[in-house]
Amino acid sequence: MTNRESDGQHFDVIAVGAGMAGLYLLKKLRDAGFSAVALETADDVGGTWYWNRYPGARCDIESLDYSYSFDPELEKEWQWSERYATQPEILRYLQFVANRYDLRRDIRFSTRVDRASWDEDAGLWRITTDNGDRITAQFYVMATGCLSMPKEPDVPGVDRFGGPIYFTNRWPHEGVDFSGKRVAVIGTGSSGIQSIPLIAEQASQITVFQRTANYAAPANNGPVRREHREQLEEDRNAYREGARWSRAGVPISGSTEPFFSVEPGERMRRLEAGWTRGDLLTINSSFADLVVNAAANFEVQEFFRDKVREKVLDPLTAEDLCGKDFPLFSKRLCLETNYFETFNSPKAKLVNLHRTPIKSITEAGIDTSAESMEFDAIVFATGFDAMTGAIVAVDIRGRDGIELKNVWAEGPKTYLGLSVHGFPNFFTITGPGSPSVLSNMAVSIEQHVEWITAALEHLRGEGFHSIEATSAAQESWVTHVNDYANLTLYPQANSWYMGANVPGKPRVFLPYIGGVDRYRQVCDDVVKRDYLGFEQVGNAGSRCNDGVIRPVKPDVQLLLELLASLDQPPLDSLTPEAARQQMEASAAQRPPGPEVDEIIDGILPGPAGELDYRLYKPAIPGLAPIVIYFHGGGWVLGHASSDEPFCRYLCAESNALVISVNYRHAPEARFPAAVDDAVAAVNWIAANAEFLGGDSHNIAVAGWSAGANLAAVVCQLALAHDGPAIKGQLLITPVTDGDFTRPSYRDNAEGYILTRSLMEWFWDHYCDVDDRHDPRASPLRAQSLTGLPPAMVVTAELDPLRDEGNAYADALKAAGVQVQHLQAAGQIHTSLLAVDAIMTSDNTRRLMKDALIGFLR
């Protein structure tokens, strides 16, 4: 037999790759007492820094930050010579690490892994390499790097060129001398921007072929900044811990101020300071909203473009070199040294491929649509098949032979970027769905390695032999990753973050944008909850705490975090008057909602005095359909304009006359005062519709929370007492039953703004216990719901009121009422009305206004 299985080549863990990730993984596994081997295509360690030897190759996160932090002794033994170290220095560092911990003895170099398949019966992975090795392991870890699979050049005629062709990501070890040569460089991403100035120094001519101009800031490289070194050395632990719990893996604090909230002079001062500092993060973190607010982002783009215009003498070349057409930061920002100035040299030329595309590479050079050019050498700086390329290049088969490549055909699916359902005992380091390339990868690599090693120790300790992500946990994580990305401007760019640089690759945002800190918290929380979302199997049986680690939509989570930071007292700890003031103060911070044609305040006669209303008029001729709206606030808080942004939205989007009517509040006026007022308002509006500009035959009611309770009740009373014809009811997170025993009161009792105790406080102020079963308080308790108007009932997953809303929708359906029932996943009681603030509920709002349009058609 030629294969080595006969040699008993079995390990606890097989790792693929001996870059920064593979090296640390080996060390950790060895320390934890696991047998492990790393298999590496290259003939030495280093990964990225082994392969990318092009002139000018450097890191773009400062070297003090872009280094291992796991061993303070190691840190003290290595001194970086520059702020942004060169590739040779980083490679020497990784070689030093390999030597220091004697890691090479567990690495098989010049060994490419071709196939890995899970043997369910034996409970192990079978690995095949290009050397014919066959080895097995209980666990299989891909430490294959996010930027390690070169993207194939997609230019016709590559094979025809008579001279040498170089790839920045596979650069010859002996280096290249371009002296006196006419050189073409294709690609102006990070590698192109780093290498072009140095190639230009040697070459007799350099022609740069550019498809997309990138935004680049000056590196302002030099010796390591003294204050940076001092900051680190003063308290290493605190500094590194700060990095671990930072947004991007570098301990700098971000501003919480939106761009336009800062006055223009101060904005410019911050931008200039970030520019002079020369790094990837400072400008972005000088404002809170540059990756979510297109207008703010555009202003900063202009700042970058003006800088290019200052540096590049020829105006046409300058314009061509300006980043445009995609938001700043939505592709990785580049750091440059003399890049733009290179184009002021007579020997440098820029070819804009949008104007003059390449037709073909020829034997002598390159033909574009405009001319034939001759070259002595061509350099491809065309990047990588990022994040998934190196993983799916291996034929990985999981349970029942399923192929990872097929499972990921429409985009990668992972749980936490660490594991994949259907592939037991399989892990990826910095895989898709983790912060990876959006972070300082040294920090992200350490976190993944430590998490995986701890998981293996846990399994060993608990007597489990395998672990696998559940399908539900994985699906929810994929949704969470996408939800986050969709809140930002990132998906607007044709970037490698989106897989858009590789023809045929699905367009999916690959990394997790929630931040290194939030992500680390997620991973820690998964462990704390007994590996939530993982099935652990041992000889004695299996254990699985299945579930969703982050059920809350990301923007809702941000809102909750913001509110928590304000440290306000709970409403139910206040007097009603103080609670009203606190609500008013928060409402003043909201975006106002869309423009409507006119807003008119008025007064209508109620049963116990005047009731005020606010009318939102749409810009349509003639009599408009009417929506009578009842605000939320637990019958205690609120007024006719307290849900103003949402009323404006309904008016503008459904072209209805929205009349938000006030009603008497508890505890001053207890049940059934609010009901009596609501009924009186509906009767009066129906009778005076034309005077108000509305169509009396076309009336719907709507309401939120306690207002939805009133809307439901007035529909019942109008039907029972021959009241006005109501064509539809929109009930948003309605109170339908004064009963606290449903599971949502337990599951969502706390943490989502409307708490169980606040709901109890509302009810206690509103209604005697004896009255709570009265259908005018608890419409779910009505004897019959037959004949009620068509309804849309909207419930939020993370709302104590969820189950009573669901119960009302079900009861209406059972009574033969036409019902649309929307169950908004990841939303809370207050988020569905948050116009222009909670984007993840935009779609729910659209469906609500569509329902109204349907009622009033």
Q: Does 214 bind ligand FAD (CB under 6 A)?
A: no
Stretch that binds ligand FAD, among 33-41, 312-320, 812-820, 821-829 (CB under 6 A): 33-41
Asked if residue 36 binds ligand FAD (CB under 6 A), the reply is: no
CB-based burial, 828-853: b 16+ in 10 Å, e otherwise: bbbbbbbbebbebbeebbeebbebbb
Residue 491 as a binder of ligand FAD (CB under 6 A): the answer is no
User: Smallest distance, Å, CB 197 to ligand FAD?
Assistant: 15
**If you search the block for the tokens 């008993």, which residue do you land on?**
8
| Preceding omega of 667 cis (within 30 degrees of 0) | yes
In the complex with ligand FAD, the residue whose CB is nearer, 60 or 299, is: 60
Site stretch for ligand FAD (CB under 6 A), options 39-47, 308-316, 369-377, 411-419 = 39-47
Taking CB under 6 A as the criterion, the residue among 47, 218, 433, 576 binding ligand FAD is 47
The H or E element containing residue 630 is: strand 624-630
CB contact at 8 A, 403 and 395 = yes
- Say whether residue 715 binds ligand FAD (CB under 6 A): no
User: For 21, left (φ over 0), alpha (ψ -120 to 50), or beta?
Assistant: alpha
Q: Which stretch binds ligand FAD (CB under 6 A): 437-445, 647-655, 684-692, 771-779?
A: 437-445
Classify 464 as helix, strand or coil: strand
SS3 544: strand
Pick from 13, 26, 147, 714 the residue near ligand FAD by CB under 6 A: 147
Among 15, 16, 792, 819, binds ligand FAD (CB under 6 A): 16
Stretch in the footprint of ligand FAD (CB under 6 A) among 46-54, 216-224, 459-467, 759-767: 46-54
Q: Which stretch binds ligand FAD (CB under 6 A): 19-27, 653-661, 776-784, 802-810?
A: 19-27
Site for ligand FAD in 171-210 (CB under 6 A): 191
In contact, 620 and 694? CB cutoff 8 Å:
no
Cβ 48 to ligand FAD, closest distance in Å?
4
Of 41, 67, 285, 466, the residue at the interface with ligand FAD (CB under 6 A) is 41
Residue 353 three-state SS: coil
Provide DSSP, 40-105: -SSSSS-THHHH---TT-B-SS-TTTSS--S-HHHHHH---SSSS-BHHHHHHHHHHHHHHTT-GG
Structural contact between residues 549 and 520, judged by C-beta atoms closer than 8 angstroms? no
Partners of 209 in the β-ladder? 186, 351
Query: Which residue lies nearer to ligand FAD by CB, 196 or 702?
Result: 196
Position among 195, 210, 337, 430 found at the interface with ligand FAD (CB under 6 A): 430
CB of 704 to ligand FAD, least distance (A): 46
Q: Is 60 in the site for ligand FAD (CB under 6 A)?
A: yes
| 445 near ligand FAD, rule: CB under 6 A | yes
For ligand FAD, the closer of residues 20 and 678 by Cβ is: 20
Q: Tell the smallest beta-carbon distance from residue 386 to ligand FAD (Å).
A: 9
Cα gap 447→244, rounded to integer Å: 8
Strand partners, 604: 611
Could you tell me which residues are beta bridge partners of residue 822? 794
> Quick one: which of 52, 501, 698, 748 contacts ligand FAD (CB under 6 A)?
52
Residue 251 makes contact with ligand FAD by CB under 6 A? no
Task: Tell me the closest approach of the beta carbon of residue 129 to ligand FAD, in angstroms.
Answer: 7
Give burial (CB, 10 Å; 0-12/13-18/19+) of 721. exposed
Decide if residue 13 touches ligand FAD (CB under 6 A).
no
Size of the site for ligand FAD (CB under 6 A): 37
What's the gap between Cα 199 and its chain centre? 38
Among 14, 15, 36, 57, binds ligand FAD (CB under 6 A): 57
Q: Binding to ligand FAD by residue 388, rule CB under 6 A?
A: no
Name which position in 138, 188, 440, 841 contacts ligand FAD (CB under 6 A): 440
Contact between 708 and ligand FAD by CB under 6 A: the answer reads no
Which DSSP letter does residue 812 get?
H
Partners of 309 in beta bridges: none
Binning the chain into helix, strand and coil, the percentages to the nearest 5 are: 40, 20, 40
Tell the smallest beta-carbon distance from residue 222 to ligand FAD (Å): 16
Q: Pick the closest to residue 382 from 189, 232, 195, 228 (CA basis).
A: 189
Determine, following the binding rule CB under 6 A, whether residue 59 of this chain makes contact with ligand FAD: yes
Choose, by CB under 6 A, the member of 86, 148, 447, 831 that binds ligand FAD: 148
Residue 322 in contact with ligand FAD, rule: CB under 6 A? no
Of positions 15, 17, 699, 766, contacts ligand FAD by CB under 6 A: 17
Closest approach, Cβ 584 to ligand FAD, in A, equals 46
DSSP notation for 254-297: PP-S-GGGS-HHHHHHHHHHHHHHT-SSHHHHTSS-TTT-HHHH
Q: Minimum distance from CB of 53 to ligand FAD (Å)?
A: 10
Closer by beta carbon to ligand FAD, 11 or else 649: 11
Rounded CA gap, 182 and 547, in Å?
Answer: 60
Question: Cα angle at 387 between 381 and 391, to 5 degrees?
Answer: 110
The verdict on whether omega for the bond into residue 672 sits within 30 degrees of 0, i.e. cis, is: yes
Query: Are 856 and 628 within 8 A, CB to CB?
Result: no
Nearer to ligand FAD, 193 or 552 (CB): 193
Judged by CB under 6 A, does residue 61 bind ligand FAD? yes
x-or-dash string of contact with ligand FAD, 65-104, rule CB under 6 A: -x--------------------------------------
Q: Name the site residues for ligand FAD (rule: CB under 6 A).
A: 16-22, 39-42, 47-48, 50, 52, 57, 59-61, 66, 112-113, 143-148, 191, 390, 393-394, 429-430, 440-441, 445
